[in-house]
Structures are given as C-alpha cells and as structure tokens.
C-alpha cells in the first residue's frame, strides 16, 4: 500500500513539471488545427464540384428517354433552358397540383443541380397521377444519363434509375379481386 501512495505522490509532483512543459506543447497542438481546417475546405470544394455545367451541350441538343411506373409511360425530352416543364402541353403546376408530385418530378434535376438549367417536355399516358409522376421522374433520370454519363453513379445510388417493378396483381378465378374472397355464408 505504501508503494502505491509513493507512486501517487510522484505522479502529483510530476504534474507541476508537466505544467512547465505545457507552453512548449501548445504551439505544437496549435499546428494541427490548420491541418484539420484544410480537409474541411476540400470537403466544401468537393460538395461544390458536382454542379456540372451545360457548356458542352449545344443550344439545340435534345436528350430523350422513356420512364415507366405501373401502367404509366412518360416519354421525356430534356434540353438546355431555364427550368420550365411542359407535361402534355401544360405547365407542371397545373398538371400535378399536389406539391408532393411536383417534388417527385423535380427530384432528379435537384440532385444533379440542373433544376434551373434544363427544360423538360414530356408526353404521359396511362395510369393515375402518382404513377405518372414516378414515370416522369424515371424518364428525366434516364435522359440526364444520356446527356452526361458521369451522373449515373449519383442517380443510381439514389435509386432513380431503377424501374419500380410493383404492378397491380391479376384477378384470380373464384375471387372478387386478386386476393379478396367472396363473403362466407355458413348456410
């Protein structure tokens, strides 16, 4: 027990000596801080880099693709412009009045950074409103890949290039719908 007390006393006496050497260690500790600031600056620069320019696209360049969801099909054409949408001859706000559908349609352009640089025209048919919005989103993502193949990784990671395979299940004989049974009558 006395040995431990002696060790503790030695540690306590060594602590003031460490205080005397601390000012020497502080400048060394101050140097790594700028080094940590540099990676932050490079991270910020890396975040700003993904916004590619459309300088390499000609003014009359057109990129088309087909997007699908359920029974909806959207034939999409994108070209350099000011960010306008024309869906079956109508603007985005009148064709999809709900904000959620508008956000779904704009999602690929916002991810890539082309929201205000590309005009979108689409001919849509079949299905309902939700399926049509997802079909337009799928078509825009595929057209962006055609315009710039470097965007493929980002769009694929966010699963915008994957066609949603969920469809309505077919009706079976003897049932009212795909799985709904007629009401059971005991007698």
| Residue 55 in tokens | 């300088």
Phi and psi at residue 85, in whole multiples of 5°?
A: -115, 140
Which pair of structure tokens corresponds to residue 44?
A: 């910020």
Dihedral-angle region of residue 175 (phi above 0 means left; psi in -120 to 50 means alpha; beta otherwise): beta
Residue 32, pLDDT score: 47
Which tens digit of pLDDT belongs to each residue from 124-149?
A: 999 999 999 999 999 999 999 999 99
Q: Is the pTM of this model over 0.85?
A: no
51-100 pLDDT per residue, tens: 455 445 667 889 999 999 999 999 999 999 999 999 999 999 999 999 99
Q: Can you tell me the distance from the alpha carbon of 147 to that of 6, in angstroms, rounded to the nearest whole number? A: 76
Question: What fold is seen in the domain 63-157?
Answer: Ribosomal Protein S5; domain 2 (3.30.230)
> What pLDDT, on a 0 to 100 scale, did the predictor assign at position 187?
87
Closest CA to 77 of 116, 118, 106, 49: 118
What are the boundaries of each domain within the chain? Answer: 63-157
Cβ contact 72:135 at 8 Å: yes
């Amino acid at each position: 027990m006395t040995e431990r007390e002696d060790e503790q006393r030695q540690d306590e006496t060594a602590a003031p000596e460490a205080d005397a050497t601390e000012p020497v260690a502080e400048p060394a500790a101050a140097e790594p801080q700028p080094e940590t600031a540099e990676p932050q600056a490079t991270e910020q620069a890396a975040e700003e880099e993904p916004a590619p320019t459309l300088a390499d696209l000609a003014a009359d360049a057109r990129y088309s693709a087909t997007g699908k969801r359920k029974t909806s099909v959207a034939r999409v054409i994108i070209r350099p412009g000011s960010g306008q949408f024309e869906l079956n001859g109508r603007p985005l706000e009148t064709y999809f009045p709900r904000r959620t559908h508008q956000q779904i349609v704009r999602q690929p352009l916002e991810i890539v950074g082309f929201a205000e640089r590309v005009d979108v025209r689409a001919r849509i048919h079949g299905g309902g409103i939700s399926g049509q919005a997802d079909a337009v989103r799928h078509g825009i993502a595929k057209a962006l890949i055609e315009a710039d193949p470097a965007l493929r990784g980002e769009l694929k990671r966010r699963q915008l290039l994957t066609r949603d395979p969920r469809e309505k299940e077919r009706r079976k004989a003897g049932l009212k719908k795909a799985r709904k049974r007629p009401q059971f009558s005991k007698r």
